[in-house]
Amino acid sequence: MHTHPFRRNFTFAPVERELVPGTVVRIGRRPKQEFIAFRSKVVSRTHAELVISDDLQVYFRDVGSSSGTFLNRLRLSPTGKESRPYPLKSGDILQLGVDYQGRQEEVYKSVMMKIFITVNRNAAENRPRMKPLRLKLALRNLLVAMTPSNRDASSACTDCCICLSTLAPSQALFLAPCSHCFHYKCVVPLLKSGGGVMFQCPLCRQVANLEANVSIDE
Residue 218 resides in a domain:
no
Average pLDDT, the chain: 77
Same domain, 84 and 98: yes
Percentage of the chain exceeding pLDDT 90: 9
Same domain, 100 and 148: no
Percentage of the chain exceeding pLDDT 70: 71
| pLDDT beyond 60 at 193 | yes
Same domain, 113 and 139: no
Number of domains observed in the structure of the chain = 2
3-class SS of residue 87: strand
The pLDDT confidence band at residue 154, using thresholds 50, 70 and 90, is very low
| pTM of the model as a whole | 0.58
| pLDDT beyond 60 at 76 | yes
The pLDDT confidence band at residue 153, using thresholds 50, 70 and 90, is very low
pLDDT digits (tens, 9 = 90+) for 14-37: 778 777 777 888 899 876 666 788
Residue 217 resides in a domain:
no
